[in-house]
Structure 1
Amino acid sequence: MMWPSKVWEHFTYFINMVKSFIISPSSKSITASESFYTNQILYSQEVNEKIEQAVKSGNLWNVICVVRYIIQNMSRNPVRIAMTGDSGNGMSSFINALRLIGHEEEDSAPTGVVRTTQEPAQYFSSKFPNVELWDLPGTGVTAQSMENYLEEMKLDNYDLVIIIASEQFSSNHVKLAKAMQRMRRRFYVVWTKLDRDLSSSPLLEPQLLQSIQKNIWENLQKERVKEPPIFLVSNFDPLSHDFPKLRDTLKKDISNIRYTDSLETLSGICDKSINLTSSLKITMSHMYGTDDLQKSFETYKKSFGVDDESLQQLAQRTGTLEMGYRAIQFQDLHKMDWRLKFLMCFPVDMFFKFLAYWWWFGLWNFVVRKFRHQRQRLIIEIVTQDTKTFLRRVLKDNIFPTEVL
């Protein structure tokens, strides 16, 4: 009488072991973008719906066209850059110098020894097309009201923030930098009155520059702020010191905000849509699963648009035949997931076929169905991951305009 109970005990142990092998890792969620510009994409219901419909169609060319259309439309939106810092640090003068215009010109930012900017003021420059430069009122506040300043200035509504400093890198500057890091915003630190420092310091220029940078970095490091780009400039000499480097960096980051960040955000939305489609297929496989794994595998590839025929058509449409788009093959499955390798191995396969024989009168049907479903699930997960990886690659290869590459 002990024999059946021992068999059951060993069989239960085996099933539990299999279950431990086939627990699926949770998929990564989409993280918030680093700019207000791309947050407009992330929180647009219309964009999410368009991408979800394109993914459901199983035609990657449709997805590429939708993403390309969205990025082209978004690229017409202005990138918003804010200048902030303590009052008297030369924010308005810096904006004029960045725009390469004099303080006396008609549309220049007003400057002076007293606080001249009372409300956020918007400026434009032909040097940075379709970019809004915002001159914000200086902090000029106590440490206790810094949070109020951040809220009042709505700094989370800007794509890039330039923290202006001079004479000293104050606690307010550090708090601003810390806030930017917390809000996942790109930001620079710009020291604006280098001409005054050079004329009054006993140090040689290389030593002075190193001293200023070291002071900024040490203050940020104390608050565990990762080192941002730091530029040392003179507002009265907009063609020397770090100004050329600053303009080049700014142009590159504007392009990244407009294209690279946008594509990353849209790729994340694509991933989410693919995961939703995958979850539906996993649910359906529980009801309509089959023992013919190769047939199921080909069906899943085709439904996601990553079978050989679909990829060949995509390569023709995108003009990227030389890139050799190739679908994963059935014989490669066991190399891609050790859990699936275990469930597809001959001894395990034969054991469950044995349990499925008619003479058990359906005693093990639930276990057999569970086994079939888990194999199907792992195959779907592999195809899902392959689709996400491939789609990111093909979007990067086919979305950016040539001037961005």
Structure 2
Amino acid sequence: MCFLQTDVTSLRLQDWKHQGINMSDSFKEDLQKALLKKDKVGAAKKAQEYLDFINNVPLNIAITGESGSGKSTLVNALRGIKNNSEGAAPTGVTETTMEPTEYTHPENPKIKIWDLPGVGTTKFPAAKYLKHVGFKKYDFFIIVSSERFKENDAKLAKEIKKMKKNFYFVRSKVDHNIQDEKENSPDLKEDELLQVIRNKCTKELEKLGIESPKVFLVSSLKLHLYEFRELSRALMMDLLNSSEKFCFFLCQTLIWKSLSRRQRF
């Protein structure tokens, strides 16, 4: 199953800019010309060309966070493979990702999952991190932390928000966190312990200036537990909302405007 979703509007515009072509204006002009000529076949052809273009543009998803937070393990989990599988992102207790590394989703080669170097290390200080990893080319971001969320995580989120792109926070290794919380609160049930962890994550991020943060609690080694399924579902719904609906309403709006213009003359 392919889980990953993103903001397709920004993806398409970004791709057009890289090609030096304003595909949006070109598409609108060709479609409107066909409609003004009452060329239904031509209009349908142009609309299909646009949808084909949309479907063949790659989707770039960045997994980021501090060193040792479990980024690479999450990359493998999202691709549906184990850490020891062939082609898996290398994992370890020390930073194993030294450059942004692309991994293709096995069920959809247009989905690219990028394992980014850890932020805040000597080699990748926060001040230079965004430029080093080429943040603008990514369409969706998952910010990972295995402990408490810190200032570097909040800085990343704020920069991503400035770019008007979607992002989630993921608290990884939550199975370890639950064991730690059990020592402090042995009488609490697991769902209550999860809520304690969630509340802590939310408060940490709000103190750092992030309003209403969306946080998922996961264990990349125990995908059947906790909120990996919810994370996957949220990612899937984001793509459905931003791609199919975007295409549908764009085509619908352009056709309606063109027909309305004809009626005025």
User: TM-score, normalised on structure 2?
Assistant: 0.79
Distance 1:207 1:192 in 2: 18
CA deviation after TM superposition for structure 1 residue 261, in Å: 3.8
Distance 2:251 2:106 in 1: 29
Q: Is 1:243 matched with 2:228? A: yes
Structure with the higher fraction of residues in helix conformation: 1
Counterpart among 180, 183, 186 of residue 160 in structure 2:
180
CA deviation digits over 1:223-242, x for unaligned, max 9? Answer: 55343432101121022211
Counterpart among 106, 113, 118 of residue 133 in structure 1:
113
What percentage of aligned pairs have identical amino acids? Answer: 30
CA deviation after TM superposition for structure 1 residue 51, in Å: 1.8
Counterpart among 204, 212, 216 of residue 231 in structure 1:
216
Aligned CA RMSD, in angstroms, stands at 3.1
**1:45 is matched with which residue?**
22
- Give the conservation status (yes or no) of the 8 Å contact 2:143–2:168: yes
One-letter code aligned to 2:155? K
Distance 1:36 1:156 in 2: 10
Larger CA deviation: 48-57 vs 99-108: 48-57
**1:113 is matched with which residue?**
93
**2:62 is matched with which residue?**
82
| Structure 2 residue ranges without an equivalent (≥5) | 1-6
Distance 1:155 1:50 in 2: 28
**2:192 is matched with which residue?**
207
- Give the conservation status (yes or no) of the 8 Å contact 2:65–2:71: yes
Q: Provide the secondary structure at the position in 2 that maps to 1:201.
A: helix
Larger CA deviation: 122-131 vs 158-167: 122-131
CA deviation after TM superposition for structure 1 residue 174, in Å: 0.9
Q: Provide the secondary structure at the position in 2 that maps to 1:163.
A: strand
| Structure 1 residue ranges without an equivalent (≥5) | 1-31, 278-299, 308-379, 384-405
Q: Provide the secondary structure at the position in 1 that maps to 2:113.
A: strand
Q: Provide the secondary structure at the position in 1 that maps to 2:167.
A: strand
Distance 1:127 1:245 in 2: 20
Counterpart among 64, 68, 71 of residue 51 in structure 2:
71
Q: Indicate how the Cα distance of structure 1 residues 265 and 147 shifts in structure 2: closer, same or farther if over 3 A, else same.
A: farther
Distance 1:80 1:265 in 2: 22
Q: Indicate how the Cα distance of structure 1 residues 73 and 33 shifts in structure 2: closer, same or farther if over 3 A, else same.
A: closer
Q: Indicate how the Cα distance of structure 1 residues 213 and 128 shifts in structure 2: closer, same or farther if over 3 A, else same.
A: farther
CA deviation digits over 1:69-88, x for unaligned, max 9? Answer: 21222211221111000011
One-letter code aligned to 1:252? M
Q: Provide the secondary structure at the position in 1 that maps to 2:205.
A: helix
CA deviation after TM superposition for structure 1 residue 151, in Å: 1.7
- Give the conservation status (yes or no) of the 8 Å contact 2:67–2:121: no
Q: Indicate how the Cα distance of structure 1 residues 149 and 220 shifts in structure 2: closer, same or farther if over 3 A, else same.
A: same
The correspondence of residues 246-257 of structure 1 with structure 2, limited to 5 A, is: 246-257=231-242
User: TM-score, normalised on structure 1?
Assistant: 0.54
- Give the conservation status (yes or no) of the 8 Å contact 2:178–2:194: no
One-letter code aligned to 1:167? E
- Give the conservation status (yes or no) of the 8 Å contact 2:83–2:90: yes
- Give the conservation status (yes or no) of the 8 Å contact 1:79–1:159: yes
**2:3 is matched with which residue?**
none
Distance 1:246 1:128 in 2: 18
Q: Is 1:151 matched with 2:126? A: no
